[in-house]
Structure 1
Amino acid sequence: MHENPSAVGCLYIVPTPIGNLADMSERALQVLAEVDLIAAEDTRHSGQLLQHFALHKPMFALHEHNERQRAATLISKLQEGQSIALVSDAGTPLISDPGYVIVQACREAGIRVVPLPGACALITALSAAGLPTDRFCFEGFLPAKPQQRRNALNALKVEPRTLVFYESPHRIVATLADLGQCFGAERHVVLARELTKQYETFLVGSVAEVAAKLAADPNQQRGEMVIVVAGAQAQTNAEQELNQALQTVQLLRAELPLKKACALAAEIHGLRKNQLYQLALEQ
Structure 2
Amino acid sequence: KFNEHQQVSRIAERIARGEDIALISDAGTPGISDPGFLLVRTCIQQGIETECLPGATAFVPALVNSGLPCDRFCFEGFLPQKKGRQKKLIALAEEERTMIFYESPFRLVKALEQMAEFFGENRHACVAREISKLFEDFQRGTLKELIDHFTENGVKGEIVIIVEGKPKKEEEESE
Normalised by the length of structure 2, the TM-score is 0.89
Amino acid at match of 1:210: L
Change (3 A) 1:72 1:184: closer
- 1:232 — aligned with what? 166
Following TM superposition, where does structure 1 have runs of at least 4 consecutive aligned residues deviating by more than 4 angstroms? none
Greater relative contact order: 1 or 2 (C-alpha under 8 angstroms, separation 6 or more)?
A: 2
The gaps in structure 1 that reach 5 residues or longer are: 1-63, 237-283
Identical pairs, percent: 45
Query: Which letter does structure 2 place at the counterpart of 1:227?
Result: I
Question: Match of 2:138, as an amino acid?
Answer: F
Residue type matched to 1:116 in 2? L
**Alignment-derived partner of residue 127 in structure 1:** 64
Larger Rg computed on CA atoms? 1
Shift of 1:150: 3.0
Matches within 5 A, 1:43-192: 64-145=1-82, 148-192=84-128
Q: Which residue of 2 aligns with 1:222?
A: 156
Consecutive unaligned residues in structure 2, runs of 5 or more: 171-175
* Shift of residue 210, structure 1, vs aligned partner: 1.3
Q: CA RMSD in A?
A: 1.7
Q: Deviations over 1:237-281 (max 9, x none)?
A: xxxxxxxxxxxxxxxxxxxxxxxxxxxxxxxxxxxxxxxxxxxxx
Report the alpha carbon displacement of residue 108 of structure 1 after superposing the two structures with TM: 1.9
- Per-residue CA deviations over 1:70-118 (Å, capped at 9, x if unaligned) read 3333223222321100123310111110122221221122211010101
Larger helix percent? 1
Q: Across the two proteins, how many residue pairs are aligned to each other?
A: 170
Q: What is the CA deviation profile of residues 162-199 of structure 1, one whole-angstrom value per residue up to 9, with x for unaligned ones?
A: 00001111111111111111111110000001112221
State the TM-score, normalizing by the size of structure 1: 0.57
For 2:173, the equivalent position in structure 1 comes to: none
Whole-angstrom distance in 2 between the partners of 1:215 and 1:108: 46
Letter in 2 for 1:225: I
1:88 and 1:98 in contact (8 A); partners too: no
Structure 2 residue aligned with 1:197, among 133, 136, 140?
133
